[in-house]
Structure 1
Amino acid sequence: MAKKSSIEKNNRRKRMTKNAAPKRAKLKAIIADKKKPMEERFAATLKLAELPRNSSATRIRNRCEITGRPRSVYRKNKMSRIAMREYGSKGLIPGLVKSSW
């Protein structure tokens, strides 16, 4: 089980990203538009830099919904391999067949 603080930190990052996404997209569009004057693009760059770092989508870590484990998480199920195996063995995941030989 991951530390509760790490899980909460990641959830805070998700919320911040969701709130700041329209503003970030607008600023990035201004920066990418080569037809705009250089001063306006530079000002947009500075405004983008002033936004909190945690509002960037790249800072979100994929974590297991059940255990909070940060590594080996399947995107489709949002579960780690360990939780997937445990729940699959109990028959709680439809369509999952645990291989054995």
Structure 2
Amino acid sequence: MAKKSIQARQRKRAVIVAKFAEKRAALKEAGDYAALDLLPKNASPVRLKNRCQLTGRGRGYMRHFGISRIMFRDMAVQGKIPGVTKASW
């Protein structure tokens, strides 16, 4: 499980990205890169990292489900993800 501070930092970045999204789009459309440079660094969506919604793990993230591979496997074995079963042959 990721540290609580890292998860909090990620949530903070997501709020800032949403706050400045329209302003960033308008400045990019106008080509005003000087004004774009004055915005906070965390306003850039590139600074967001995909993390597991349950544990905050940054590696092994499955985009389709929004969770890490480890949590996906645990939940699939327990039958908590509809339509997903463990393969056997």
Tell me the equivalent position of 2:68: 80
Q: Which structure would you say has the larger Rg?
A: 1
What SS does the aligned partner of 2:49 have? Answer: coil
Post-superposition shift, 1:24? Answer: 0.3
TM-score by length of 2: 0.95
Structure 1: 4+ residue segments shifted above 6 A: none
RMSD: 0.9
Tell me the equivalent position of 1:95: 83
Count the aligned residue pairs.
89
Question: Aligned residues: percent identity?
Answer: 42
Tell me the equivalent position of 1:7: 7
TM-score by length of 1: 0.84
What SS does the aligned partner of 2:52 have? Answer: coil
Unaligned stretches of 5+ residues in structure 1: 32-43
